[in-house]
Structure 1
């Protein structure tokens, strides 16, 4: 914008249209492109970019947002996707419970190097089967018919969406969450026995309280000293051997994913036959839960060990982005930032080459 200091000038102020900046823009196209590139490749706050450019947060973000939207719209993010992962996370830790949950859909397809792409495809509000199912419906049959594998955590809402919208896909229950269910049962039994025997919650010096973390460790990782201590504490605090039995059930559940496929399938059959009829109520409940997910658990062995690990990796990238930004209030801004940070634009970290001196 130019101002004429000549008193006789009737225009006084006028602007010049130039390819370096859009009409009425406050930043040049080069500055905007630089700022967008920084968000794509680095964990950096918009406020930091505004400080570097010497402008306000609103100035830089309002200039960047349309450019980011245009770039994301121009990308064919859904091309070549044949495996999906889904998980929820909290994008905003304020408001009534559940209002801050979003569903993240992640590409699990493998690239030329054989590794999962692990890139965010989209975020939708809510943690419901409808949220996931509606998103799949919006993509159309050309996309959904190409999905071969769909991994998830043990949430029936997402499972129902996969059943309805991805009938040809193999549903795989994430191994980590299967094992986690077993670990939770061990802890529930330990706390109940603690109350039944001592009449109070665990305290320092109580036998079962002292091994609460050891009970979560895989048997193959325990040292001889830990095994001796574990047995002594169970002998002292577990009179009816309920915690001991729950721990052995947990170890058998873990063994599924350390075995060869044929052995793993056999272990699953043994677990589903024994757990539901166990006299320990927590183990019986676990058995019924696992029985409902039988097909999805066994699918692990039919998909070369497909898991929801890539989705959890993307959640980690998003969480870092959210922390750097010190939180968000606007979901649309959050979605754009997440797609930019976890959409697969950042180069893979390469193994450093160390020079030998």
Structure 2
């Protein structure tokens, strides 16, 4: 066969030509290859072309799978003598960029293994099974492919989201000299997210202290930090202190989800306390406040008129327990009405009136949990007010945290925290890198023709 036959084109391995193909008894196809690149006989040490053949060699590199049956490659190549007298190698075998000397797999197979994990969210063990490779080989290929993500410059970010996610159990080690135990692996990771754009997860650091946040921000360029105008966080004093230290020009915005969550926790605390004080026991399924516990945590607009009337009358007829619960529920709804002014172009008068209504109701309630909620909201008012003015939230951080936990479940946990951060960084930036676009099943012309 010639070197430019159709089988060589189908295999598409630059520098190699298909000499013949045979089918084995088990159905496997064996492809015999010969060298078709003149550069293959250049000495790797000096680059001079060899003219004298020393011998021949046959290698069996593995390549990407083709079809359902197996495909084996047999590369029949030559060993050359180097013409340079001072060459330390003296002789060498032919090699091409796709199959370097000593390589057992092709470079495109190695690249495909790394891309499966980086761009397709495959686990290392699953990619190794699909491509018939070992776990260390696939993991090494993934680390190489991940350099494209980790070494790329950070995108410009206007709103930075900071949030924590649990990575696993902490690990302690005992100092053999002193006998004291010290923490060597945190159970928490802090993530930094592009909360407004499409940059995804920008980075992760182990721990959730002020020093941990400052350490990651110190690794970023100064001009990049100056471009951050807002930082969205939950109600964490640690993150707020870190932002004020590292990004003094940025405005801190509290995510409204955590504010409403705080109000719902207050409602549950009121229900448990009043039940214990008045009934002298924990709540039971027959108690009206226990039956209404889920409706108390729902938004008013999500309750039908019949559901709301039933809850209101059932608690109102229950005496002190019901009265305190309804008072706390109204405080929660007043807080939600205040937060609902975000993204509505409300002026300062409307915001001030809604805030006054909430604080006044809490102060007049004479319920300790409700008053404590008002104190907390008042302490965080600059950050809550920034949310009402801008409408920025930390929703993307929460979504990325869900993906991070899903990656950990698929991998059945991670022993190596560095590998976990690398995996999650690549998986959570796939949309920004254009790897989550759905395929079009048919062309626009066909769709128009079918519609008729």
TM-score, structure 2 length as denominator? 0.69
Q: CA deviation at 1:14?
A: 7.9
**Is the Cα contact below 8 Å between 1:41 and 1:346 reproduced in 2?**
no
**Is the Cα contact below 8 Å between 1:26 and 1:59 reproduced in 2?**
no
CA distance in 2, matches of 1:211, 1:281: 21
Cα deviation code 1:130-164 (max 9, x no counterpart): 21122112214212111011100000110011111
Task: Find out whether 1:257 has 2:333 as its counterpart.
Answer: no
**Compared CA separation, residues 147 and 276, structure 1 to 2 (3 A):** farther
Once the two structures are superposed, the pairs formed by residues 85-164 of structure 1 within 5 Å of their partners are: 85-93=161-169, 95=171, 99-109=186-196, 116-117=197-198, 119-164=200-245
**Compared CA separation, residues 222 and 158, structure 1 to 2 (3 A):** same
2:85 corresponding residue in structure 1 = none
Cα deviation code 1:197-231 (max 9, x no counterpart): 22211211111111110001111221122122212
1:75 corresponding residue in structure 2 = 152
Q: In the alignment, which of 42, 52, 61 is matched to residue 130 of structure 2?
A: 52
1:40 corresponding residue in structure 2 = 118
1:290 corresponding residue in structure 2 = 377
Q: Which has the higher helix share?
A: 1
Moved more, 29-38 or 210-219: 29-38
**Is the Cα contact below 8 Å between 1:104 and 1:123 reproduced in 2?**
yes
1:319 corresponding residue in structure 2 = 405
CA distance in 2, matches of 1:264, 1:22: 68
Give secondary structure in 1 for the equivalent of 2:219: helix
Q: CA deviation at 1:273?
A: 5.1
Which consecutive unaligned segments of at least 5 residues does structure 2 have?
1-55, 60-88, 173-182, 442-446
**Compared CA separation, residues 134 and 265, structure 1 to 2 (3 A):** farther
**Is the Cα contact below 8 Å between 2:230 and 2:253 reproduced in 1?**
yes
1:345 corresponding residue in structure 2 = 433
2:108 corresponding residue in structure 1 = 30
**Is the Cα contact below 8 Å between 1:103 and 1:132 reproduced in 2?**
yes
Cα deviation code 1:243-281 (max 9, x no counterpart): 111000001111123233333443234434553574211
Larger Cα Rg: Structure 1 or Structure 2? 2
**Alignment length, in residue pairs?**
341
2:386 corresponding residue in structure 1 = 299
CA distance in 2, matches of 1:268, 1:21: 69
1:8 corresponding residue in structure 2 = none
Which consecutive unaligned segments of at least 5 residues does structure 1 have?
5-10, 110-115
Q: Which has the higher strand share?
A: 2
1:112 corresponding residue in structure 2 = none
CA distance in 2, matches of 1:356, 1:283: 59
